[in-house]
Amino acid sequence: MHLSVLNLKWFTSKVERKIFDELGFCSVVITGPIEGPPLRIGWTGYPRRLRKHHLHAIAWTVDSLIARRVVKEVSSLLAPRRLRDGRYDVPVDLAEQGLYIAGERIGAPVFEHNDMLKRVRAFRQYRLDKALRELGVVMSPADQSPANANDNDEPTAGLKATA
């Protein structure tokens, strides 16, 4: 099965979508013909807009500024293989590895699509747990783990969202 924005797992609720918007995640994408090169490397906050392009790879960052820096760094890594029209004549695997290497070089987290979904869902659960604690609702012993005991144990530490 080819990767496509149409078959990416997405959110199961409007609440998750709202949290996604609040957290400001931004994707770095590699698009191009189904057969492979030449490839384009870019960024977007809403990959569902890429329906007319074949999506070879997607990685996520915490915001658009980081995504732009990752794209710029990947572009410099792949510069020797850059074509005149701004696309790159490199294998998809190499371009995808470049996304993660670029993140390491600039010291920014770059993570997979499923990890982004997990972060959004963890933040949703964090908000639910916090609201329950504020209301004084007694949780079961399984829910009272050390991770749930402290308001500062936010699952997406370092992200710019209001709780």
Q: Which phi and psi (to 5°) does residue 24 adopt? A: 75, 20
> Which residues are 27's β-sheet partners?
44, 60
CB atoms within 10 A of CB 61: 26
Measure the CA–CA gap between 53 and 30, rounded to whole angstroms.
10
> pLDDT at position 22, please?
85
Per-residue pLDDT 10s for the chain (163 aa) are: 345 555 567 777 788 888 888 888 898 998 888 887 889 899 988 776 666 678 888 899 999 999 999 999 999 999 998 998 888 989 888 999 999 999 999 999 899 888 888 888 888 888 888 888 888 765 555 555 545 444 445 555 444 444 4
Measure the CA–CA gap between 81 and 99, rounded to whole angstroms.
15
Query: Does pTM top 0.75 for this prediction?
Result: no
> pLDDT at position 154, please?
53
> pLDDT at position 103, please?
92
Distances (CA, A) of 76 to 27, 36, 104, 109: 18, 20, 14, 18
